[in-house]
């Protein structure tokens, strides 16, 4: 009988859970539905409250996962069916095609250079991030292989100048492609790693325990929230994070989407959209956003001390060890914290600057402030795949869409199904350190079950 | 670059018996060819010139090992990230640089010695210091594997903070603390393999993972038993900091801390006695709900100031206890005075329930705390400014409850010395890495759990306890810990017993014997090289990064036109990550640098910094992790201070100190590395003429 462990989600929680369980001696399947392991943390620039560079501390752990013999990484993979039987779980997974032979691709990037079409990057779109139709998730992606956008293969991108798709013959019918530039670039390098006719692969596993580590997402701003959809220079906190990241689309230059100029006056709005009608904003405090914004203002000031920074907030959430000192540091660096929530934003058509109107809660007065870039801290929501996964695993979600613990006071991280455990953002908004603690704990619970007769 | 030319050049180098070109050398096909070649030509050193060791060294090490060669006889040269991707417009100079890098690799490879992983046996026994929820949950997880767990509790009973609380809540779940304590303690007592020792604390502690000897002290001061264990979990908990002298606390019996209120609520629920009020039973004490009409809570007492931050749990506790008072008597008026109300996710429901029940909340200014006055008629009044309505409030209080700050246990002062770890002024232990090692200390085999690190909720303490058990169980399950072969080695013949290495090792991996002779506990050594670079007698070497090997690379780099070259010492983790990122991003920068990889910038000794100048190099770069990150805790700080000292030395020796440059670079910051290269080349006027 199998004593393997299935970990769903390969962000910092899943990675740590996998490393702990594997070093303990367990066989681990680490599954993620995106093209690379790394999760949210791989996208971040810095991490509070120490401002450690995010990828600097995460990448060594990613490589460690890759080099652990008893961890099998399955990216682009979804859980389709889970059946509990005689104390084990029979799991059916489907690995979506990347249209690339992962064993042959060396990540050389020749195909990416050859691809004629750039499209806005899903995450960095509003700040000018672009990617090709064949692309690598991020430079340190693991596995370090490219993936072909399915939209390209289906022909949807022909009008944008894509070289393939829309043939009389469907890609899945061919075994070679004389027209795809990526395929010929790959062949020219002597590899033949791109397989446009690749199909999804079914995988069946038998495991003793399952750890859900599906993580968190930034709440998408409702279109009209403080001008987000209307004005170029209104962006989300995560987009700002990408903007200040040396590995991001602007190579770390904090510039405005409207004109590419360095922003000299920037404001952050905390709790943006919070408490608005259903579907328009997050209904609860997401805990980590105050410190994310504080980190961002400190880094902004490090980039250029002359930038004027203002944070609009209601209740400051400086909940962790040394978080208050971190906030004090921001204030010492000249960051203005103003208690109040802006309710109106107007753009100057010429300068593209934004004027905020807000009630200053300390003085009770209505005030205005003009900024060049506006950052919305929209809060944290559960991973969008949670409802489906909950159905497949037959475990419950809480009213906000995070996974529910059966008894958090006696047996935290355990669900109503014995053998299924939770860690990280699957349980709620959470920071990196807390995710790692839970990852170690969930790993312990999983191996204890796998050890049990 | 012209790869065949580089291969042909490599073939002609002394000691090289074979140079081969592989198109995709990390592909399965080529790796098997590589194994064949190693065996066929009976080579005893291998140099791979390809991408970057950060991602691919483990793969080639494995391949070399499979071919029957010791994996430490491999040297990795990065000619993709450091040459072909970053000098795309200068193929001639790029090819020359690649040749230099290969020559440097061969120079080091010739001096490589066999290495081996080092193991230290670890048995299956763990001492858990502290019998609260964190310690007990750690003990349960340890013992459930069949390992031996000893729980040491300095008090008389297990359960820690759960002995002092009324009810616990989390996201709609609620239970009396006493019941949670009993269920936890019962499980501990029923689990075979757990031994409980109460009324004693740690007096002495010696050793390291796999080999700890702990001497106990009984409550009466008598010498207790000695324990031999392999691992430790520190779960010493926390306590309130009594706000003596503030808000009439300690002067007026109507002023309590939240924990004192909670004890009364708990006793009220259980009908227990109050030992600290002369043995009165809860039943004989005035019943809270009958004597109390107006209650005021003041939050953030002693918190969020210059000394310490947010207490992390006070808002939750206040709302919870306000609800408990309302449950006793809905007529009680409760007013909570706060600075920032922090109620996360599901706690929002608690807050709404409190508001529905008429519990009032007023924000007071950060710099203007409420004042407590006693009226002539003996009534207690709290005066405060309500920021939201902008008015001064005068609130009568039959009971004033303070949410005070917390501090670690008093035993921390003694323990931190024994464990050679640090703690904050408030006696909270400092974890090894704030983000990625939150449950441990730098030394292997000691985990940290619960409120000993920082204030946290019961759920988080239980998680931390279980997680800490995982951290110490890995070596206990494996039966050993293993260090990579890159470790320090001390030759005692020149040692003057100065003790610097012992004092400065971030991992307590160097012990000293009774004659003050240092000894490396190799399994604990992480190979950063700080000790070797600092040793005044140069008697410490780092396997795989010896002085000779590093200097051979420097000399090989400067064999031709040294005046056009910059020698860069880059740390493996972040600085080389930045170099790689510059490569991946195809950032173009001048070709003058010849990089020497070290594991940590702390490895770069003054001798290493000096050698390039002696050989006529244009400049020297030392690149380490961006502050405050360091893979070896604080090696980059050591390197920075050494560079400062070296600059003075250079000036005295007649060299231009500005030609020694230190940069601290994150693994994402390719642009910073490329910019530094451009700046150095400009500053040293290397851009005039070819490299």
Q: CATH number for the domain including B355? A: 3.50.50.60
DSSP B342-394: ---TTHHHHHHHHHHTT-EEEE--TT---EEEE-TTS-EEEEEEETTTTEEEE
| pLDDT category of residue B279 using cuts at 50, 70 and 90 | low
Tell me the two tokens of residue B332.
């009680």
A99 torsion bin: left (phi>0), alpha (psi -120 to 50), beta (else): left
Using the predicted structure, report yes or no on whether residue B690 has a pLDDT greater than 60: no
> How many whole angstroms separate alpha carbon A418 and alpha carbon B659?
63
Residues in B 72-111 with any Cβ partner in A closer than 8 A: none
Summarised one tens digit per residue, pLDDT across range B395-415 is 999 999 999 999 999 999 999
B348 touches chain A (CB under 8 A): yes
Tell me the two tokens of residue B521.
């506990």
B434 touches chain A (CB under 8 A): yes
| pLDDT category of residue B274 using cuts at 50, 70 and 90 | low
Residues B197 and B291 both lie in one domain: no
Residues in B 438-497 with any Cβ partner in A closer than 8 A: 438-439, 453-454, 458-460, 462-471, 473-474, 477-478
Tell me the two tokens of residue A130.
């672009």
Q: For B390-426, b where at least 16 C-beta lie within 10 A, e where not — what string?
A: eeebebebbbbbbbbbbbbbebbeebbeebebebbeb
Spans of all domains in chain A: 5-93+201-215+383-451, 110-188, 219-379
The bridge status of strand B173-176 relative to strand B167-170 is antiparallel
Query: With contacts defined as CB-CB under 8 Å, which chain B residues touch A443?
Result: 467, 470
Residues B417 and B552 both lie in one domain: no
Write out the H or E segment, with its range, that includes residue A357: strand A354-360
| pLDDT category of residue A8 using cuts at 50, 70 and 90 | very high
- Cα–Cα distances (Å) from B650 to A168, B557, B646, B680, B681, in that order, read 72, 21, 6, 17, 20
> How many whole angstroms separate alpha carbon A337 and alpha carbon A312?
6
For residue B489, the 8-state DSSP code is: E
B416 touches chain A (CB under 8 A): no
- Cα–Cα distances (Å) from A94 to A136, A202, A208, B58, in that order, read 21, 5, 19, 29
Query: With contacts defined as CB-CB under 8 Å, which chain B residues touch A451?
Result: 145
Domain boundary among B352, B373, B404: B404
Q: What is the mean pLDDT of chain A?
A: 94
> How many whole angstroms separate alpha carbon B146 and alpha carbon B193?
7
The strand order across the sheet containing B399-404 reads B255-257, B399-404, B294-301, B333-338, B360-363
Range of the domain at B193: 125-239+407-480
Q: What is the mean pLDDT of chain B?
A: 93
How many other CB atoms sit within 10 Å of the CB of residue B352?
A: 11
Query: With contacts defined as CB-CB under 8 Å, which chain A residues touch B448?
Result: none
- Please, are residues B122 and B144 in contact by the beta-carbon 8 Å criterion? no
B342 touches chain A (CB under 8 A): yes
Residues B369 and B234 both lie in one domain: no
**Positive/negative CA dihedral, B250, B256, B259, B261:** positive
CB–CB of A398 and B469 under 8 A?
A: no
Query: With contacts defined as CB-CB under 8 Å, which chain A residues touch B346?
Result: 284, 398, 400, 428
pLDDT in the model for residue A153 = 86
pLDDT in the model for residue B245 = 86
B180, B304, B341 member nearest A324 (Cβ): B304
pLDDT in the model for residue A164 = 85
Residue B466 to chain A, least CA–CA distance (Å): 5
Summarised one tens digit per residue, pLDDT across range B248-268 is 999 999 999 999 999 889 887
3-state DSSP helix/strand/coil % of chain B, to nearest 5: 40, 25, 40
Residue B499 to chain A, least CA–CA distance (Å): 31
Domain boundary among B541, B563, B578: B541
Which residue from B minimizes the CA distance to A143?
B55
Write out the H or E segment, with its range, that includes residue B574: none
Using the predicted structure, report yes or no on whether residue B283 has a pLDDT greater than 70: no
* Superfamily, domain A5-93+201-215+383-451: FAD/NAD(P)-binding domain (3.50.50.60)
- Please, are residues B87 and B586 in contact by the beta-carbon 8 Å criterion? no
> How many whole angstroms separate alpha carbon B194 and alpha carbon B147?
9
A53, A139, A402 member nearest B626 (Cβ): A53
Residues B32 and B109 both lie in one domain: yes
CB–CB of B342 and A285 under 8 A?
A: yes
> How many whole angstroms separate alpha carbon A182 and alpha carbon A194?
8
How many other CB atoms sit within 10 Å of the CB of residue A310?
A: 17
Same fold, A5-93+201-215+383-451 and A219-379: yes
Query: With contacts defined as CB-CB under 8 Å, which chain B residues touch A104?
Result: 27
Residue A287 to chain B, least CA–CA distance (Å): 6
| pLDDT category of residue A1 using cuts at 50, 70 and 90 | low
pLDDT in the model for residue B691 = 43
| pLDDT category of residue B111 using cuts at 50, 70 and 90 | very high
Residues B159 and B189 both lie in one domain: yes
Kindly report the pTM of this predicted structure: 0.91
Residues B294 and B197 both lie in one domain: no
Tell me: ipTM over 0.90: yes
**Rounded average pLDDT over A45-72:** 92
Residue B216 to chain A, least CA–CA distance (Å): 29
**Rounded average pLDDT over A303-329:** 95
For residue A138, the 8-state DSSP code is: S
Backbone angles phi, psi at A120, to 5 degrees: -60, 135
Residues in B 222-251 with any Cβ partner in A closer than 8 A: none
Summarised one tens digit per residue, pLDDT across range A122-180 is 777 788 889 999 999 988 899 999 999 999 988 888 889 999 877 877 888 888 888 89
Summarised one tens digit per residue, pLDDT across range B316-362 is 999 999 999 999 899 999 999 999 998 999 999 999 999 999 999 99
pLDDT in the model for residue B204 = 96
> How many whole angstroms separate alpha carbon B177 and alpha carbon B174?
9
Tell me the two tokens of residue B237.
């908990």
> How many whole angstroms separate alpha carbon B153 and alpha carbon B201?
7
3-class SS of residue A361: coil
> How many whole angstroms separate alpha carbon B318 and alpha carbon A216?
29
Query: With contacts defined as CB-CB under 8 Å, which chain B residues touch A444?
Result: 141, 466-467, 469-470, 473
Backbone angles phi, psi at B412, to 5 degrees: -60, -40
Residues B374 and B435 both lie in one domain: no
**Rounded average pLDDT over B509-522:** 93
Q: Provide the number of CB pairs (under 8 Å) joining chain A to chain B.
A: 229
- More confident of the two residues A165 and A75: A75
pLDDT in the model for residue A215 = 97
Write out the H or E segment, with its range, that includes residue B589: none
Residues B250 and B399 both lie in one domain: yes
Residues B265 and B376 both lie in one domain: yes
> How many whole angstroms separate alpha carbon A17 and alpha carbon A441?
8
CB–CB of A57 and B175 under 8 A?
A: no
Is the CATH number of domain A219-379 3.50.50.60?
A: yes
> How many whole angstroms separate alpha carbon A369 and alpha carbon A309?
11
Backbone angles phi, psi at B429, to 5 degrees: -65, 150
CB–CB of B581 and A246 under 8 A?
A: yes
> How many whole angstroms separate alpha carbon A213 and alpha carbon A23?
18
pLDDT in the model for residue B280 = 63
Query: With contacts defined as CB-CB under 8 Å, which chain A residues touch B465?
Result: 441
B166 touches chain A (CB under 8 A): no
The percentage of residues in chain B with a pLDDT greater than 70, rounded to a whole number, is: 97
**Rounded average pLDDT over A346-367:** 95
Which residue from A minimizes the CA distance to B456?
A320
Q: Which residues contact A174 (CB under 8 A, 6 or more apart)?
A: A196, A197
CB–CB of A316 and B342 under 8 A?
A: yes
Residue A168 to chain B, least CA–CA distance (Å): 35
Query: With contacts defined as CB-CB under 8 Å, which chain A residues touch B173?
Result: 407-409
- Please, are residues B45 and B75 in contact by the beta-carbon 8 Å criterion? yes
Q: Which residues pair with A71 in a beta bridge?
A: A28
CB–CB of A24 and B473 under 8 A?
A: yes
> How many whole angstroms separate alpha carbon B347 and alpha carbon B58?
47
> How many whole angstroms separate alpha carbon A15 and alpha carbon B578?
23
Query: With contacts defined as CB-CB under 8 Å, which chain B residues touch A362?
Result: 365, 387
pLDDT in the model for residue B470 = 98
- Please, are residues B335 and B343 in contact by the beta-carbon 8 Å criterion? no
**Rounded average pLDDT over B157-178:** 95
Query: With contacts defined as CB-CB under 8 Å, which chain B residues touch A190?
Result: 23-24
B54, B438, B629 member nearest A436 (Cβ): B438
Which residue from B minimizes the CA distance to A320?
B312
Residue A447 to chain B, least CA–CA distance (Å): 9
pLDDT in the model for residue B442 = 86
> How many whole angstroms separate alpha carbon A310 and alpha carbon A269?
9
Start-to-end Cα distance in chain B: 15
Domain boundary among B117, B152, B185: B117
pLDDT in the model for residue B282 = 62
Residue B665 to chain A, least CA–CA distance (Å): 9
Residues B297 and B438 both lie in one domain: no
3-class SS of residue A125: helix
For residue B80, the 8-state DSSP code is: I
| pLDDT category of residue B59 using cuts at 50, 70 and 90 | confident
Q: Which of A31, A194, A205 is nearest to A97 (CA)?
A: A194
CB–CB of A438 and B463 under 8 A?
A: yes
A63, A318, A445 member nearest B466 (Cβ): A445
The bridge status of strand B211-218 relative to strand B118-121 is unpaired
Tell me how many domains chain B contains.
5
Query: With contacts defined as CB-CB under 8 Å, which chain B residues touch A287?
Result: 342, 344-345
Q: Which residues pair with B393 in a beta bridge?
A: B384
B308, B439, B581 member nearest A437 (Cβ): B439
Summarised one tens digit per residue, pLDDT across range A428-443 is 999 999 999 999 999 9
B439, B584, B666 member nearest A53 (Cβ): B666
Summarised one tens digit per residue, pLDDT across range B18-51 is 999 987 788 777 888 999 999 999 999 999 999 8
Query: With contacts defined as CB-CB under 8 Å, which chain A residues touch B457?
Result: none
CB–CB of A437 and B438 under 8 A?
A: yes
How many other CB atoms sit within 10 Å of the CB of residue B245?
A: 9
CB–CB of A433 and B631 under 8 A?
A: no
Using the predicted structure, report yes or no on whether residue B308 has a pLDDT greater than 70: yes
- Please, are residues A334 and A304 in contact by the beta-carbon 8 Å criterion? no
CB–CB of A247 and B581 under 8 A?
A: yes
Query: With contacts defined as CB-CB under 8 Å, which chain B residues touch A412?
Result: 459, 462-463
Query: Mutating which of B361, B467, B625, B669 best tests the A interface, going by the most A Cβ atoms within 10 A?
Result: B467
CB–CB of B666 and A56 under 8 A?
A: yes
B465, B581, B629 member nearest A57 (Cβ): B629
Residues in chain A, overall count = 453
Residues in chain B, overall count = 691
**Rounded average pLDDT over B120-133:** 97
Residues B442 and B315 both lie in one domain: no
Residues B335 and B436 both lie in one domain: no
């Amino acid at each position: 009988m199998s004593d393997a462990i299935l970990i769903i989600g390969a962000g910092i929680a899943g990675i740590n859970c996998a490393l702990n369980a594997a070093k303990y001696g367990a066989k681990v399947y680490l599954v993620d539905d995106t093209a690379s392991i790394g999760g949210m943390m791989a996208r971040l620039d810095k991490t509070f409250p120490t401002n450690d560079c995010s990828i600097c501390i995460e990448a060594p752990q990613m490589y460690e996962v890759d080099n652990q013999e008893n961890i099998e990484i399955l990216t682009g993979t979804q859980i389709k069916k889970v059946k509990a039987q005689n104390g084990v779980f029979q799991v059916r997974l489907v690995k979506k095609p990347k249209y690339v032979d992962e064993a042959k691709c060396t990540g050389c990037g020749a195909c990416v250079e050859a691809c004629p079409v750039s499209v806005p990057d899903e995450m960095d779109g509003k700040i000018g991030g672009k990617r090709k139709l064949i692309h690598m998730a991020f430079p340190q992606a693991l596995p370090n292989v490219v993936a072909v956008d399915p939209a390209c293969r289906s022909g949807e991108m022909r009008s944008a100048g894509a070289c393939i798709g829309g043939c009389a013959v469907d890609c899945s019918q061919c075994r070679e492609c004389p027209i795809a530039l990526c395929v010929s670039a790959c062949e020219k390098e002597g590899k033949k790693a791109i397989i446009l006719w690749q199909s999804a692969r079914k995988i069946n596993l038998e495991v003793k325990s399952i750890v859900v580590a599906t993580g968190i997402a930034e709440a998408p701003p409702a279109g009209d929230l403080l001008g987000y959809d209307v004005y170029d220079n209104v962006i989300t906190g995560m987009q700002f994070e990408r903007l200040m990241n040396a590995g991001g689309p602007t190579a770390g230059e904090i510039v405005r989407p409207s004109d590419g100029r360095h922003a000299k006056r920037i404001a952050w709005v905390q709790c943006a959209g919070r408490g608005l009608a259903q579907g328009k904003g997050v209904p609860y405090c997401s805990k980590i956003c105050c410190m994310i914004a504080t980190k961002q203002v400190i880094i902004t000031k490090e980039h250029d001390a002359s930038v004027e920074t203002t944070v609009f907030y209601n209740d400051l959430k400086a909940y962790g060890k040394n978080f208050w000192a971190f906030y004090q540091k921001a204030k010492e660096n000249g960051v203005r914290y103003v208690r109040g929530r802006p309710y109106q934003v107007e753009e100057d058509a010429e300068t593209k600057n934004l004027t905020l109107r807000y009630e200053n809660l300390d003085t009770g007065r209505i005030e205005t402030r003009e900024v060049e870039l506006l950052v919305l801290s929209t809060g944290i929501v559960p991973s969008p795949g949670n409802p489906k996964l909950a159905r497949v695993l037959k475990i419950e979600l809480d009213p906000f869409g995070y996974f529910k613990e059966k008894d958090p006071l006696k047996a935290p991280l355990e669900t109503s199904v014995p053998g299924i455990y939770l860690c990280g953002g699957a349980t709620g908004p959470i920071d990196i350190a807390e995710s790692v603690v839970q990852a170690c704990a969930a790993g312990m619970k999983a191996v204890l079950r796998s050890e049990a007769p | 670059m012209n790869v065949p030319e580089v291969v042909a050049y490599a073939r002609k180098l002394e000691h090289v018996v074979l140079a081969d070109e592989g198109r995709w050398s990390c592909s399965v096909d080529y790796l098997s060819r590589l194994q064949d070649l190693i065996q066929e030509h009976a080579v005893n050193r291998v140099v791979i010139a390809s991408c970057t060791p950060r991602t691919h060294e483990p793969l080639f090490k494995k391949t070399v090992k499979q071919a029957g060669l010791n994996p430490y006889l491999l040297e990795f040269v990065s000619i993709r990230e450091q040459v072909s991707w970053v000098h795309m417009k200068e193929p001639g100079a790029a090819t020359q640089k690649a040749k230099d890098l290969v020559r440097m690799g061969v120079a080091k490879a010739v001096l490589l010695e066999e290495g081996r992983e080092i193991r230290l046996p670890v048995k299956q026994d763990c001492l858990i210091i502290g019998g609260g929820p964190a310690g007990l949950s750690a003990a349960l997880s340890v013992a459930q594997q069949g390992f031996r767990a000893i729980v040491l509790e300095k008090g008389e009973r297990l359960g820690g903070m759960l002995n002092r609380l009324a009810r616990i809540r989390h996201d709609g779940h609620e239970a009396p603390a006493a019941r949670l304590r009993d269920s936890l303690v019962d499980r501990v007592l029923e689990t075979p393999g757990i031994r409980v020792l109460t009324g004693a604390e740690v007096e002495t502690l010696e050793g390291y993972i796999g080999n700890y000897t702990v001497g106990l002290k009984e409550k009466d001061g008598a010498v207790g038993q000695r324990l031999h264990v392999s691992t430790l979990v520190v779960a010493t908990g926390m306590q309130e900091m009594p706000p003596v002298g503030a808000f009439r606390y300690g002067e007026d019996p109507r002023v309590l801390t939240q924990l004192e209120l909670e004890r009364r609520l708990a006793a009220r629920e259980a009908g227990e006695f109050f030992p600290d009020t002369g043995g009165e039973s809860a039943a004989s004490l005035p019943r809270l709900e009958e004597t109390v009409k107006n209650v005021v809570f003041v939050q953030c007492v002693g918190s969020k100031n210059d000394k310490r931050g947010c207490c992390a749990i006070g808002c939750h506790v206040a709302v919870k206890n306000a609800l408990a008072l309302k449950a006793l008597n809905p007529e009680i008026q409760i007013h909570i005075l706060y600075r920032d109300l922090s109620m996360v996710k599901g706690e929002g429901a608690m807050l709404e329930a409190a508001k529905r029940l008429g519990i009032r909340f007023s924000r007071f200014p950060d710099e203007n705390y409420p004042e407590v006055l006693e009226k002539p008629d003996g009534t207690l009044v709290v005066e405060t400014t309500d920021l939201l309505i902008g008015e001064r409030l005068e609130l009568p209080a039959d009971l004033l409850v303070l949410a005070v700050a917390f501090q670690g246990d008093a035993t921390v002062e003694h323990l931190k010395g024994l464990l050679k770890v640090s703690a904050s002024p408030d006696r909270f232990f400092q974890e090894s890495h704030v983000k990625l090692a939150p449950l441990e200390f730098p030394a292997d085999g000691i985990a940290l759990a619960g409120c000993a690190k920082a204030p946290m909720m019961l759920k988080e303490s239980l998680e931390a306890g279980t997680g800490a058990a995982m951290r110490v169980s890995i070596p206990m399950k494996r039966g050993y810990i293993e260090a990579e072969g890159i470790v320090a080695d001390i030759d005692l013949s020149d040692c003057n017993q100065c003790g610097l290495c012992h004092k400065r090792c971030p991992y307590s991996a160097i012990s000293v014997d009774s004659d003050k002779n240092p000894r490396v506990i190799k399994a604990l050594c992480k190979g950063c090289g700080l000790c070797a670079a600092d040793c005044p007698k140069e008697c410490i070497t780092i396997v795989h990064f010896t002085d000779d090997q590093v200097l051979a690379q420097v000399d090989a780099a400067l064999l031709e036109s040294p005046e056009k070259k910059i020698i860069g010492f880059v740390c493996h983790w972040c600085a080389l990550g930045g170099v790689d990122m510059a490569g991946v991003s195809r950032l173009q920068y001048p070709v003058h640098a010849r990089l020497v990889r070290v594991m940590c910038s702390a490895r770069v000794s003054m001798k290493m910094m000096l050698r390039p100048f002696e050989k006529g190099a244009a400049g020297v770069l030392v690149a380490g992790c961006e502050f405050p990150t360091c893979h070896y805790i604080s090696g980059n700080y050591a390197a920075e201070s050494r560079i400062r000292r070296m600059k003075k030395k250079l000036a005295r020796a007649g060299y231009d100190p500005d030609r020694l440059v230190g940069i601290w670079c994150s693994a994402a910051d390719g642009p910073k590395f490329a910019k530094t290269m451009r700046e150095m080349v400009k500053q040293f006027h290397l851009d005039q003429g070819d490299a």
